[in-house]
Chains A and B, each alone.
Chain A
Amino acid sequence: MFRPERSLSSSPGPRLDGAALALGASRLPLYSGAMHYWRAEPSRWEATLTELRHLGLPLVETYVPWDIHERAAGEFDFGESDPRLDLGAFLDTAERVGLYVFLRPGPHINAELTRFGIPERVIYDRACQAWSPRQNPVILGFPPQMFPVPSYVSHAFHEEVMRWFAALAPHVVPRLYPRGPVVLLQVDNEASFYFRNGPFDQDYHPDALVAWAEFLEEKYGDLSRLNEAHRRAYPSFREAFPPQRFLGQRAEDLVLYLDWAEFQERVITHSIARFREGMESLGMRGVPFVHNVPLGEGGLPLNLPALNEVVDIVGLDYYHAAREYPTIKRRSLYLSGSVELPYAPEMGVGAPPWFTPLSTQDSLFCALCALAFGVRGFNLYMAVDRDRWYGAPIDGRGTPRIEAGLWKHLLLALQRVGFADLKRRTPIALLIPREYARLSRVTHLLGPISPSTLEAMGGTPVDASREDSFGFEAPIQVLWWHHLATIAEALDRAGLPYAYVDSEAPLERLRRFSVVFAPTYEFVARARQQKLKELERLGVRVVYGPTQPTLDEEMKPHPFASLDEDSRQAFASAEEADRLIASLRSEFDLHCPFPTSPSVVESVVHEDAHGPRLLFVINPSGQAQRAKVTLPEAMLLDDLLHPEEIRATREAEIDLAPLSCRVFRLERDPLARHLHSQPPSPHSEPHRD
C-alpha cells in the first residue's frame, strides 16, 4: 500500500522531501521496522518480511554485522557457507515482498552483540583501541563481556573499517535504489565514544594527539595566539598536550577545557564524515545517509547541527518508560527544533534484557509523545524479535504477537492523515548554548559515569558538574540548564508551544521563530553573539540573560552591547518567568492553540495549510484524568486509535487513563454548529494506549 511505482527512467536516487523520501514521483513516509536477517532462519525471511509489511511498514531496517560476516581476518562469508549470512538474498527477498530497505552496516552496530559487532582481532589490536589518559585501553562494561572500545581517530581502525566496507560493497551497490531496494544507509551507530564519553575518558591515542594538535592549529593559526588562549607556553602545536583531568580555577583556565570539549565533538563529526566518504568511494552512494544519537544527548560530545552537515538525517533513539515523559518531551522538542527532519532511527519497541524494563504501553506511549512533540518518522526497533531482545510485535519465527495490532493501527492512522506532511507551529525557541553545555561536560565529576549516562538514567547532564564559579557570579555550568528549565515550565503553564534549538543550528532555522530565549552569563561564544545580533536584525525578539556578557569564549573582553538591553531578562522565580511570558504573549499575539485543563494534561496540535488537523492529548500523570479541551470552533474529534468520535461545539471532554496519550483527527463539524451544548462523552471507560 505504501509502495510507490518505481520510475527508473528519471530517478537519480532517493532524496528527502520534507519528512518523506522522494522516489521519482512518489513519496515514501519514513516508517520502518527492524529485523536482523542473520538471527532468523532464511526459510522464514519471506514470511516474516511479509508480516512486517502487513504491519504497515514500507521499509525494513537491518544492521550488517561485521564480526559475524568476518569468519577470519580478511575472510568474509556473505552466504557462501552460512545461508543466514546471505545479505544479498535477504535484500532481494525484501524487494520481492515489496519493502524498501534501510541498511546500517556499522562499523559499530551494538545490536546487543558481544563487542558491538566488531571483530575481536580488531578490538584487541592496540593500534585500533582508544587510549585512556594513562594509556590503558578504555573498557566498556556491557554484558555479556566487557571489552576495550575502538578509537574514532585511529588510522589503523579506519583502515580496518575500509576493508570491511570493501568486502560489503559488492553485495550492497547493485541493490541501491533504483536498481535495488536500498534507499537509506546509516553511518556507524550511536557515535558517542562507545558510551565511554566522560570528559577525560579518552582519546589519548597517538593519532588523536596529532588530530588535537591539528585542531588547535586550525583554530588558532599561530602558536602565540594559542599560548595566550590556553595560558601556556607550548613550544609547538605538537607539544600542546590535551588535558587529562580538570584543574581549572579561574575563568581564564577554562579555555583549554572548552577546546578539549569542542575537539571531542569534532572527532565524532569528522569520523562519521570519514566513514561516509569511505562508503561513497566504494560505490555505496546516491541515497540519503543517516546517523542516530543515543539517549542522554544533552551530555554527549556531539554537535547535532554539525553532524547534520555530514549526513542527511540525524535522529535520536528512544527507549523510555512512560514515567520518563518529561525526558521524551524535552528530547523531541530538541530534535524538532535543531534539525530539518526530526527522525527516530530507533523507536524502541521492547528492549535488551539488561535495559530498563519497557512494557508495550511504555513503547507506544513513548512513540506517541515523540510524534506529538515533533518527530516525523521512525524505525521500530525491533519489529521482529531476536536474540538478546524482548517485546517486538512480531516474534522470532515471524508470527505477529497480539500487540502487533496496536502498531498496525497507529501506522495506518499516520498514513491516513498524512502525518509526515503536518507541522507543529512553534513560535518560541529555547536556545541550548553549546559553550555552556561544553563547560558542563568538562566540569563533570564522575568520570566514566558520564553526563549522558546520568541523563539517560533519569538525571540531568549537569547533575555532577562541579559547583565552582571560576570567578563568575555563579556556576554557569549548572545554572544554564535550570534557567532554561524555568522558562520551559513557564511556557508549559501558559500552554505556548516551543522547541529547543541547538545554538549551532543555522541561522535559517532560528529565524523562523518569533521569540528566541538565549541564556547568557558572563561569557558567550562570539559566533553565538553574532548569531543573536543577526536574529535581532531580522526582527526576531531575542530574550537573553540573566547576565550581561562581557567576555568571549577565550575569556577576552568582548562587548555585547548591540543587543537591545531591554531584552535582557533576569528572573529568579517561577512567578517572574510567568510575568515575562505573559508580556511576550500579548506583544507577539502568542496563544495556546487548544487550551486544556486540568493543567497536568497537555495538548499538542499539528496542522497543515488548511488549519489544525491532529490533536494529541497527553496525560503524563499516574492518575486517570478527564480533560477539557477548548476548541476554536465546532469540531469532530475522531480518535485515531480507538473507534470513537467526539462531537463538540466549544469544549470537548476527553477521558484519559494514567500515563496515556490519545490522538484525534480534527474536522470542522457543520452538524455540531446546530448543537447548543456539548453532548455527554459517549464513553465511560478511560482509554489507555
Chain B
Amino acid sequence: MISPELRFEGFDARAWTNLLSLFFPGVVECSGNAERGAEIGALEGESASGSLFVIVDEERRVLQAFHSSRGRVRGLSHLGEESLESLCRAHASTRIVVLREGAMEELSERMAMRMQRGDDYLSQWLIVLRSWREMQDEGSIQVWPRGFSHFPLPTPNQARVLLDWFLPQNRVLLAVLWDKGTPWTALALHRGKEAIDLVAGPDLISLWTGPLGGDWRRDYRVITRAISRSLAPVHLGFFGEVSTLQHLLQHPTPGAWARAVTIRDLIVYPTPPYIPMILGADLARALGRSSAAWFASRPLPKVFSPLQRRVSQWFEAPSVESK
C-alpha cells in the first residue's frame, strides 16, 4: 500500500494535526493527564475506556494485568469461564486482550520466518495479521470485541487489485478543506507504479497551485488542474468546508453525504465510478429510511407489527413502539 520510497512533505504542525483530528479526534485533542499508577480493581459504574491486557500461563493463571491508561490491575488471579466481554465490562474497558505467556515472542518469530527480502509494507502487514489470526485460532491470543477478525484476509494481490480500483497507477487522490474560506488542511496522495509514493501537504500543494482566488467553490478547479499538471491526473478530489465534513463524519445519517454533494456543500471532483455508486447507496438508504418510517407510522392491523418493526430496524427508522 505504501512504497519503501514513500515521500511525505509539505505539512506544518497545524495542517497535519488538523487532518488527523478529522479521523482520530481523541488522539489529537485529548488534554489533561491520565492518572496512572493507581492500582485498581473492578470499576463499577465507570465509563468504559482504553484496553485491558491480561497475560496468563498455560493454566490461565494471571501473571499480570494492566489497563492501557490506568496501569496495574489488582485482583485478577485466574481467568475462569467468565466471558471476555463481562471481564471487559467489569474493568470499564472498551477492549480486552488476553495473551498466553510467550505469545508475542512466538508472533515475532513467525513473522521473521515468513518475511522475505523485497516484501512491501502491505505484504509484511498481511504476514503479521495472518500470524496473529493463527495464534487466535490456537487460543494463545484472545481479543474482545473481535472486530474484523471474522473477515477473511486478502492476499497481497487481492489488496493490490482493490487499490488499482480505488486509485489507479499514476493518479492522485486529493482533499482540500477550508475553514470559513481559509485553507485548513490539504492532502494529495500519489499512487506510483506499485503503491502510494507521495503524501503531499498544503505547503507543497500551494507551490503547485500558486495563489488562489479565495472562493473555494471556484478554486477547486484551479487546484485540480494544477495538481494534474505538476504531479499526475487527479482521480478523486474532495473539496469543502471542514465543518461540513466534520458534521458528515460525526453524524452520517442516511442521505447526508448525497445531500451535501448535491447542494455543493461538498464538491467531489473528478468523480470516479465508485463514488456515484456509494452516493447512490447512501441515497437509497435515506429513501428506505423515509419509507420505513412512513410504513411504521401506518395504522395497520396488529398482525403487521412484527413486519413494521423489522423494516424499521433494517433502515434504522423510528420503530412502531417509539411512535
Residues of A within 8 A of B (CB): 114, 124, 132-134, 136-139, 141, 143-146, 148, 198, 200-201, 245, 322-326, 350, 353, 356-360, 363, 385-391, 395-396, 401, 403, 445-449, 457-460, 462-468, 478, 482, 485, 620-622, 658-659
Task: Let me know if B124 and A146 touch, CB within 8 A.
Answer: yes
Jot down 14 A-B pairs with beta carbons below 8 A, ordered by A.
A114-B4, A114-B5, A132-B108, A143-B2, A326-B33, A357-B17, A357-B24, A358-B13, A388-B8, A459-B36, A459-B66, A462-B72, A463-B64, A482-B72
Are B112 and A388 in contact, CB atoms less than 8 angstroms apart? no
Q: Which 9 pairs from chain A and chain B are nearest by CB?
A: A391-B13, A622-B32, A447-B104, A390-B11, A136-B112, A447-B105, A622-B31, A390-B16, A145-B4
User: A390 near B201 (CB under 8 angstroms)?
Assistant: yes
Closest chain B CB from A2 CB (angstroms): 26
Cβ of B187 to closest chain A Cβ, rounded Å? 11
Cβ distance B93 to chain A, nearest Cβ, rounded Å: 14
Q: Which residue of B lies closest to A350 (CB)?
A: B13
Q: Which one of B6, B55, B121 contacts A146 once the chains associate, using CB atoms below 8 Å?
A: B121
How many A-B contacts if CB must be within 8 Å? 169
Q: From A468, which residue of chain B is reached at the shortest CB distance?
A: B63
Residue of A133, A139, A201, A468 ringed by the most chain B CB atoms within 10 A? A139
Binary per-residue interface labels of chain B (35-64) against chain A in the complex, 1 for a CB within 8 Å, 0 otherwise: 011010000000000000101000000111
> In the complex, what's the smallest C-beta–C-beta distance from B118 to chain A, in angstroms?
10
Bits for B185-224, please: 1 = Cβ < 8 Å to A, else 0. Answer: 0000000000000010101000000000000000000000
B120 — which chain A residues lie within 8 A by C-beta? Answer: 145
Q: Which of A144, A458, A465 contacts B121 (CB 8 A)?
A: A144
CA–CA, A139 and B11, complex, Å? 30
Contact flags B138-177 to A (C-beta < 8 A → 1, else 0): 0000000000000000000000000000000000000000
Let me know if A403 and B108 touch, CB within 8 A: no
Q: Would you give the shortest CB distance from A357 to chain B, in whole angstroms?
A: 5
Q: Are B33 and A325 in contact (CB under 8 A)?
A: yes
Q: Which of B254-289 contact A (CB under 8 A)?
A: none
- Point out residues on B near A: beta carbons under 8 Å: 2-17, 20, 24, 27-28, 30-34, 36-37, 39, 53, 55, 62-64, 66, 68-69, 71-72, 99, 101-105, 107-109, 111-113, 115, 117, 119-121, 124, 128, 199, 201, 203
Question: Are B108's CB and A464's CB within 8 A?
Answer: no
Among A141, A403, A621, the most chain B Cβ lie within 10 Å of the Cβ of A141
A414 nearest CB across to chain B (Å): 21
A396 touches B2 (CB 8 A): no
Contacting residues, chain B, for A463 (C-beta < 8 A): 64, 66, 71-72
Chain B residues positioned under 8 Å from A359 (CB to CB): 13-14, 17, 28
Query: Is the beta-carbon distance between B4 and A403 smaller than 8 angstroms?
Result: no
Known A391-B13, A621-B32; judge A445-B64 contact (CB<8 A).
yes
Question: Is the Cβ of A403 less than 8 Å from the Cβ of B28?
Answer: no
Check A136 against B4 for contact (C-beta < 8 Å). no
In the assembled complex, how far is the CB of residue B83 from the closest CB belonging to chain A, in whole angstroms?
Answer: 23
Bound-complex Cα distance A659 to B113 (A):
46
Query: How long is the Cα–Cα vector from A71 to B136 in the complex, in angstroms?
Result: 44
CB-based contact A388/B69 at 8 Å: no
B8 near A353 with CB under 8 A, answer yes
Contact call B20/A357, Cβ cutoff below 8 A: yes
Contacts of A363 in B (CB 8 A): 13
Chain B residues within an 8 Å CB radius of A659: 31-32
Task: Determine if B8 and A132 form an interchain contact, defined as CB atoms under 8 angstroms apart.
Answer: no
Residues of B within 8 A of A137 (CB): 112
Given the interface pairs A390-B13, A482-B37, A622-B31, the reply to whether A464 lies near B8 with Cβ below 8 Å is: no
**Is there contact, CB below 8 Å, between B101 and A445?**
yes
Query: Across the interface, do A391 and B112 meet the contact criterion of CB distance under 8 Å?
Result: no
Identify the closest chain B residue to A136 (Cβ).
B112
Check B27–A356 contact: CB distance below 8 A: yes
In the complex, chain B residues whose CB is within 8 Å of the CB of A622: 31-32
The reply to whether B37 and A396 contact each other, CB–CB distance below 8 Å, is no
Is A143 in contact with B33, judged by CB distance below 8 angstroms? Answer: no
Contact A466 B64 (CB under 8 A): yes
Which one of B8, B15, B128 lies within 8 Å of A387 (CB-CB)?
B8
A322 to B29, alpha carbons, bound, how many Å?
11
Q: How far is the CA of A620 from the CA of B34 in the complex (A)?
A: 11
A445 to B100, CA, bound (A): 9
Establish whether residues B36 and A460, one from each chain, have CB atoms under 8 Å apart when the complex forms. yes
Q: Given that A357-B28, A659-B31 are contacting pairs, would A459 and B71 also be in contact in the complex, using a CB cutoff of 8 Å?
A: yes
Question: By the criterion CB–CB under 8 Å, are B6 and A388 in contact?
Answer: yes
From residue B124, how far is it (CB to closest CB) to chain A in Å? 5
Known pairs A358-B17, A363-B13, A401-B12 / 14 extra A-B pairs, C-beta < 8 Å: A139-B108, A141-B124, A144-B5, A145-B124, A245-B105, A390-B8, A390-B11, A390-B16, A391-B13, A391-B16, A447-B105, A463-B72, A464-B66, A467-B63
Nearest CB of chain A from residue B147's CB, rounded to whole Å:
19
Give the distance in Å from the alpha carbon of A608 to the alpha carbon of B15 in the complex: 41
Among A136, A141, A386, the residue within 8 A (CB) of B113 is A136
Question: How many Å from the CB of B175 to the closest CB on chain A?
Answer: 15
Q: With CB as the reference atom, state the residue of chain A lying closest to B196.
A: A144
Nearest-CB residue, chain B, relative to A326? B33
Contact between B33 and A620, CB atoms less than 8 A apart = yes
Is A245 within 8 A of B102, CB to CB?
A: yes
CB distance from A276 to the nearest CB of B (A): 31
B6 to chain A, nearest CB (A): 4
Residues of the B chain whose Cβ atoms lie less than 8 Å from the Cβ of A448: 104-105, 107-108
Q: Are A658 and B27 in contact (CB under 8 A)?
A: no
**A contact residues around B203 at 8 Å (CB):** 385, 395-396
Please give me the residue from chain B that is nearest to A199 by CB atom: B105
> Who on chain B is nearest to A139 by CB?
B112
**A390-B108 contact, Cβ under 8 Å, with A143-B121, A145-B121, A459-B71:** no
CA distance A390 to B28 in the complex (A): 15
Taking CB atoms, residues of chain A closer than 8 Å to B63 are 445, 466-468
Shortest C-beta distance, B188 to chain A (Å), equals: 14
What residues on A are CB-neighbors of B201 within 8 Å? 390
Query: Which residue of B is nearest A145, CB measured?
Result: B4
Chain A residue at minimal CB-CB distance from B3? A144
A353, B16: Cβ atoms closer than 8 Å:
yes
* Cα distance, A389 to B20, chains bound together (Å): 14
Contact between chains at B7 and A390 (CB < 8 Å): no
B199 contacts across to A, CB distance below 8 A: 353
Q: Are A446 and B55 in contact (CB under 8 A)?
A: yes
| Nearest opposing residue in chain A for B16, CB measure | A390
Question: Bound state CA distance, A357 and B109, in angstroms?
Answer: 31
Q: A359-B17, A390-B13 given as contacts; is B112 within 8 A of A148 (CB)?
A: yes
Q: Please name all residues of chain B whose beta carbon is closer than 8 Å to the beta carbon of A145 when the two chains form the complex.
A: 4, 119-121, 124
Q: A388-B7, A391-B11, A396-B9 are in contact. Are A322 and B102 (CB under 8 A)?
A: no
Q: Tell me the smallest distance from the CB of A151 to a CB of chain B, in Å.
A: 14
User: Given the complex, which residues of B lie within 8 Å of A124, measured CB to CB?
Assistant: 117
A401 to B13, CA, bound (A): 10
- Please give, as numbers and ranges, the residues of chain A lying within 8 Å of B111 by CB-CB distance: 139
The reply to whether A485 and B37 form a contact with Cβ atoms under 8 Å apart is yes
Q: Which of B3, B6, B120 has the most CB of A within 10 A?
A: B6
Which residues of the other chain, B, contact A353 by a CB distance below 8 angstroms?
8, 11, 16, 199
Task: Find out whether the CB atom of A360 lies under 8 angstroms from the CB atom of B14.
Answer: yes
Inter-subunit contact B13/A132 (CB<8 Å): no
How far is it, in angstroms, between the C-alpha of A466 and the C-alpha of B64 when the chains are bound? 5
Contact A357 B27 (CB under 8 A): yes
Nearest-Cβ distance from residue B200 to partner chain A, whole angstroms: 11
Whether the Cβ atoms of A387 and B9 lie closer than 8 Å is yes
CA distance A356 to B111 in the complex (A): 25
CA distance A403 to B7 in the complex (A): 24
How many Å lie between the Cα of A606 and that of B3 in the bound state?
A: 49
Q: Is the CB of A446 within 8 A of B99?
A: yes
Q: Is the CB of B16 within 8 A of A146?
A: no
